[in-house]
Amino acid sequence: MRPSPLSLTAGLITLSLTSPLPADDHWPAPVQALVDQGLEIHGEFAAPGGLSGYAASHRGREMTVFLTPDGDHAVVGTLLDVEGNDLSAAPLDEHVRSGQEAEVWQRLEESHWIQDGNPQAARVIYTFTDPNCPYCARFHEQSRPWVEAGEVQLRHIMVGILRSDSPAKAAALLGAEDPSAALQAHQDSDEGIEGSAQSREIEEQVYANNQLFEMLELMATPTNYYRNDEGRLEKVEGAPNEERLEAMMGAPRP
């Protein structure tokens, strides 16, 4: 009998299959059954008690799968030791989260952004910026000491989401002869830039940035991404307070 569809609300899922693994399938049968239902396996790891562990995710939710020694049963859930320590966290961090962070960072790098600051700066921050966003303007002002000192480079991913003229303004900034200067002038001016017709290529860049914003399930501008001192991806939504600002910038205020 085919197993019921994978349930993400269940705390524990068990599958028992005895049918042989088809020659062209990679995973043991119970794990393959989960893969067939949409589970994505990111890596294998050693688990105690004779179990085989798999770091996995399903529709953005990470989880661990443990195969019993007989190879006929799989359990989806968190494995604890006798002291209550979570033995699933480290494999998920290594195999799922680090890979997801690398993918997000690559997508940010490949987006359409305006450079703000020293291209050789030690810290790079990607910031989703809507031309009509007052909090984006506030964050721009907050960041000036580090940017002007050459310690931080902001990469403004221009989106148009807040008002009807936001896409046109974002396109005007991306399509400017000197986008960095145009963005600075926009932030310094009470009036800001006016939306204007741009080439289809520039308009598609704004659309692609908007799609990335939605794909990352973001809710506000500015949303900032950076790598901390350990190289892990951090996300900060909105204009940060002073303590969080210094953590983002990687150093006290110059």
pLDDT > 90 fraction of the chain, expressed in percent and rounded:
75
Q: Quick: pLDDT tens for 191-204.
A: 889 998 899 999 99
Close Cβ partners of 171 (under 8 Å, ≥ 6 residues apart) = 158, 160, 195, 196, 198, 202, 203, 205, 206
User: Averaged over 92-120, what is the pLDDT?
Assistant: 92
User: What does the buried/exposed string (b/e) look like for 215-236 if buried means 16 or more CB atoms within 10 Å of the residue's CB?
Assistant: eeebebbbbbbbeeeeeebeeb
**pLDDT exceeds cutoff 50 at 115:** yes
Confidence band, pLDDT 50/70/90 cuts, at residue 25: low
pLDDT score for 15: 38
Say if CB 156 and CB 113 are below 8 A apart: yes
- Residue (of 113, 222, 91, 124) closest to 170 by Cα position: 113
CATH numbers and ranges of domains, the chain: 1-81 (3.10.450.70), 107-249 (3.40.30.10)
pLDDT score for 61: 85
pLDDT score for 20: 36
pLDDT score for 189: 87
Q: Quick: pLDDT tens for 1-23.
A: 333 333 333 333 333 333 333 43
- Residue (of 209, 227, 11, 48) closest to 129 by Cα position: 209
Backbone angles phi, psi at 42, to 5 degrees: -100, -20
